[in-house]
Every structure is written in C-alpha cells, then in structure tokens.
Amino acid sequence: MKIKRFRSLTFKLTVWYIVILGAIVILAGLFLHQGFKEGLMNDLDKALVEIADEAHEKWWRTREVTWEEAIEKAEERYASYEPYIQMVEISEGETRRVKNVIRSERIPEGVFLLDTQTYFRADRTDIDSYIFRTVEEDQLSSYPLRVFLFPVRGPRILQVGVSLEATAAAMNKLMLVMILTGSIIMLLASVGGSFIINRALHPVKSVVKTAEDITAEDLSLRIDSKNRKDEIGALVETFNSMIARLEKSINKIRQFSGDVSHELRTPLTIIRGEIEVLLRKDRPKKEYVTTLNSVLEESHRMEKLIDGLLFLSRVEAMDRSKSRETVDLDEVLNAVIKFRSPSASNKNISIDAKIKPVQFRGNRELLERMTANILDNAIRYSNPGNHIEIELEKDKNMAKLQIHDSGIGIPEKSLPLIFDRFYVVDPSRSKETGGAGLGLSIVKWIAEYHNAEIAVDSKVDHGTNFTVTFPLD
Ligand code: ADP
C-alpha cells in the first residue's frame, strides 16, 4: 500500500517535471520563432528599399534611361527576389486618383494597387518613415506580398513588392526543426528526469520497506544510510535514531515488567510456602501467630511495592506543564517531619531541623513524596539513639536541602546503584524494614522532574547524607 503511494509520487513528480519543461520549451520556441520572423522581415524590407533605390538611381543618375528600363534593370539585378515593380501616378484633381502607369510585365493593369489614401500618404513621407505594407494579391501570388512605397518625382510612387513565399517557407522549415528538436529535448529530458527522480526516491523506498518490516518484536532493524550526507541521509538517520529510542524504551518496559513480576512473585511464594507448611498438621497457637506476622510483613512489602508502582505510572502520565505551582518548600518539609516524628521517637532517633523559608515552582505532592522517602530511609536505616539533621538553605539562585543521618551507611560499591528500580543493598535487611527498592528511584524521578540535582555521600557505620539542589530561576 505504502509502496504504491510512493510510486504515484514518482509519477506525479515526473508529470510535473514534463509539464514545466514543456512550457519552457514552448515558450523558448515562441520567442525564437518571433525573433526569426522579425529578422526575416527586416531583411526583406531592407531588400525592398535596395530594389527601389536601384531603380530610382538608374533613372535619376543617367536620365537617359526611361522608367520602364530602370524597372527592368532592377528586376534583372534582383531576380532572385522575383520583385513586382511598378510606378503609380497620383493625380489630385476634384477626385484623387491613382493609376499604375509604368509596370513590369508581370503585373496586369489595374492590379496590385493599394488604397488611394496610402499612396497620398506615401507621397508626403520622408526618408525616416517609409511605408511598408503586407497585402494579399491573388492575381500575383497565392502568398501575401510585402510592399514598399517610395515617393519619386511626378508626383509618383515607386511601388516594389516581393512575395512572402520564401519567408513562409523559411518559417515552416524553422517550425519543423523546432518541433523536431523540441520533441527530442522533451523525450530525452523526460526519460532522464524520471530516471533521476526514481533514483532520488529509491532510498525512500527502502525506508518504507524497512519500516514495514519493523515490528514491536523486532526493533533491531536499521536502514543503511550508505553514509549519505544529503536530506535522504538525514531522514534515514532520524528514522534510525527514532527506532533506537523506541527499542530502548520497549526494552526498558520489558525489563520493568519482568522485574515487577519477579518482585511480586517472591513475597507470594514466601506466603504460600509458609501457609502450606503451617497447614500440614495442627500446631500450637504461637506458631500460627509467628507465621501470620510473617505473612503480614510480606503483604506490607507487596502493598508498598504496588503503591510505588501505581505512583510511578500515575506521575509518568501527568501533564507536566499544568501540575506546577509556587510551593513553600519549608512548609512541605516541616509537615513531612511532623508526620514522621512519632516513628523516629519510637526508635529513639532525634531529628534536628534548620529550615529557612524557600519558595519553589513545583508540584507539592511530588515534593512531599521525595522528602518523605529520603527521611523514611534515614529513619529506617538508623539505629536507636542515632541522630538525623535536616537543613534547608537558600543561595542566590538555588535552594539546598540536606538530610543527614548517622545510621548504618551504604557500602561504596552500592552507591551508584541505589537509585535504580528494585535495587536493595541487603535484601534481608530490606525485608526487615519493608523496603521494595523503589523509594530512591521515585526520589530520583521527582528530582529530575523538577530539574533538581541529587547527590549522596555515605560511609558504612557512620551515616549517609542526601543533598538535593533546586534551581530557583
Ligand atoms: P527501599 O525501599 O528498599 O529502602 P530505596 O530505593 O529507598 O529502597 O533504597 C535503596 C537501597 O538504598 C536500600 O535498600 C538501602 O539499603 C539503601 N539506603 C537508602 N537510604 C539509605 C540510608 N539513609 N542509609 C543507609 N542505606 C540507605
């Protein structure tokens, strides 16, 4: 289907190309034709003047020659033109009259006469405004005649005419040559043009073909750009990088759903195993309570995990532009501390907060979640009697939040991984604390959402320090 559409584009481009080229060729032909015609007419007019001049000169210079002889001589000299020469006498009496008094033998009497008005006008013209006419005279030629009127003494008008037959023949010849050359040009240009268009669009064909072969199952296909540095090369590169991005996100989604299934399966297997063992025989009440506590712990973990996943899928679909407002970061932080204080006191952990007022454009709910996650971890991974320090300060164009605990710390090799989804430093320890390895990946996502930078600094058995730097533009 798509290939078909592509073919029709080649066809369309070729048709347009031929139409435009045809118009150019026709226009060029018209100009050429007109120019050639004007050139021929000019030459003919010049020849007419020459013939008239020749006859006049003969008669004028010698005065021994009669007009008849002068006309005959001129006809002989310019025989190749086969001129019609005659002398027209004009008489101005009561009525104006004209008569071809002297004429070459080839002109019958009373033939080849223009209207009287024209002769009278010719009689009064000077050398700069000679009168030329193109007239039809069936008795002399089946072609029109080009006529020149030359006033001489008398008052008489020397009239010279030449048939346009030769001119028409030359024009026809030119027309024939033009049609032939035009057709050959059009043919060659059309074949060449459609070949070039086809060649230019050929890579697009392979883009379409590869695009059709690419499915969600196999995103590894790439189009060979053959190192082209033109627009097609750019198109292929763009297409390839789009497919690469798609492949990356689909792989990420696959990896994520695999991880999720695994993470949910583990607690379910534990729950099922423990219940199966419990149900094998009658047991004392204490054993039931222990197993139920373990089941409760696992369901807490699952609940936390599902909660985290739901949160991520909800915020990832959120319209970023609409979900920002001016947030008092200090208020957010104080509320989070207030809410977490009881669980810290239960573990005999003290919290010391130095919070300056800071306003920031962001999403309140996300900012609450971010600070709560970091503080939760600080409480969870601290030992009784440990101390947590929270500090929020404002610099010129940034705000810095630090949450420092003196807890168990993070091993150096785990530091680059703690923001990954489902990563836990010590699975047995996380199980105790109910962690699913999603908390810090959510923190990182929220920081990126707000263009904030997050850094962690930790030493095992000494404590951990999380720093979030918010840009205040
Ligand atoms: P969890 O929900 O399991 O705590 P997180 O993504 O929040 O998962 O954290 C990832 C890992 O980083 C945890 O398993 C934990 O071992 C470690 N961690 C995070 N915060 C701290 C901290 N303040 N002190 C020590 N270890 C921490």
Q: Are 362 and 327 in contact (CB under 8 A)?
A: yes
Backbone angles phi, psi at 381, to 5 degrees: -100, 25
**d(CA 5, ligand 1 centre) in Å:** 56
Euclidean distance between CA atoms 424 and 417, whole angstroms: 9
Structure tokens at 66: 């009669």
Q: Among 155, 124, 159, which residue's Cα sits nearest to residue 145?
A: 159
**d(CA 418, ligand 1 centre) in Å:** 7
Q: Among 188, 184, 207, which residue's Cα sits nearest to residue 196?
A: 188
pTM given for the model: 0.56
Query: Which residue in this structure is represented by tokens 């430093």?
Result: 425
**Pocket around ligand 1 at a 6 A CB cut-off:** 377-378, 381, 405, 407-410, 418, 423-425, 430, 435-441, 464
Atom of ligand 1 nearest to the CA of 424: 14
Atom of ligand 1 nearest to the CA of 304: 2
pLDDT tens over the chain, length 473 residues: 445 555 577 888 888 988 999 999 999 999 999 999 999 999 999 999 999 998 888 888 777 788 888 888 898 999 999 999 998 888 877 677 777 778 888 888 878 888 888 888 888 877 667 899 999 988 888 999 999 999 887 788 999 999 999 999 999 999 999 999 999 999 998 899 889 888 888 878 777 887 788 776 778 888 777 777 888 888 888 888 988 998 888 888 888 888 888 888 888 998 999 999 999 999 999 999 999 999 998 898 888 888 888 888 887 777 666 678 899 999 999 999 999 999 999 999 999 999 999 999 999 989 999 999 999 999 999 999 999 999 999 988 999 999 999 999 999 999 999 998 888 887 776 666 666 788 898 999 999 999 999 999 999 999 999 999 999 97
Burial (Cβ within 10 Å: 0-12, 13-18, ≥19) of residue 410: buried
* SS3 call for 265: helix
**d(CA 419, ligand 1 centre) in Å:** 9
Q: Among 130, 99, 92, 131, which residue's Cα sits nearest to residue 113?
A: 99
Q: Are 323 and 363 in contact (CB under 8 A)?
A: yes
Protein residue closest via CA to atom 12 of ligand 1: 418
- Sheet of 453-459: strand order equals 350-355, 387-394, 398-405, 463-471, 453-459
